[in-house]
Amino acid sequence: MKEYFSDNGFIVDTASEIEEAERLIAQNTYKVVIHDLRMGPTKDQDGLRIVRLVHEYNPETRIVILTAYGSSEIEDEARLLGADAFLRKPQPLSQVAQVVRGLIESPRRAAPPPA
């Protein structure tokens, strides 16, 4: 994925562990984060933790969840936390790139006012 996006003009950082992803998010500002719900060797981390963290540091960052382990409940929770797209693996990289480009080109919708 890194090679594909780099070859298509994107600047790409990658993380294979939750802690590495947390460090990158704390140190950088991203237009889009593509996140797999299961990271690292243990695979039992709260995958939505990264979604929360991204929006804590930069609410304008768009988030794409790309996973083989999603359920409708997880997808609903991810969207409530601010994920913009939820894609199920396998997904052609060209389709992922199309979603990313669409998110970059479209403004983030304002959150509804509190009731």
Looking at the 3D structure of the chain, how many domains does it have? 1
- 103 is a domain residue: no
Tens digit of each residue's pLDDT (9 = 90 or more) over 32-79: 999 988 775 544 346 788 999 999 999 999 999 988 877 888 888 889
Residue 9 covered by a domain: yes
Tell me, yes or no, whether 113 lies in a domain: no
* pLDDT at 27 > cutoff 90: yes
Give me the domain span that covers residue 42. 2-65+77-88
Q: Does some domain include residue 27?
A: yes
Q: Residue 7: its pLDDT value, please?
A: 95
CB count within 10 Å of CB 65 equals 25
Residue 60: CATH number of its domain: 3.40.50.2300
Quick one: pLDDT band at residue 115, thresholds 50, 70, 90? very low
What is the C-alpha to C-alpha distance for residues 89 and 36, in angstroms, rounded to an integer? 10
Please check whether residue 14 is in contact with residue 29, taking contact to mean a CB–CB distance below 8 angstroms.
Answer: no
**Considering the domain boundaries, does residue 53 fall inside one?**
yes
Dihedral angle computed from the Cα positions of residues 89, 93, 98 and 103, in that order, rounded to the nearest 10 degrees: 60
Does 39 fall in a domain?
A: yes
Amino acid identity at 58:
N
* Global model pTM greater than 0.85: no
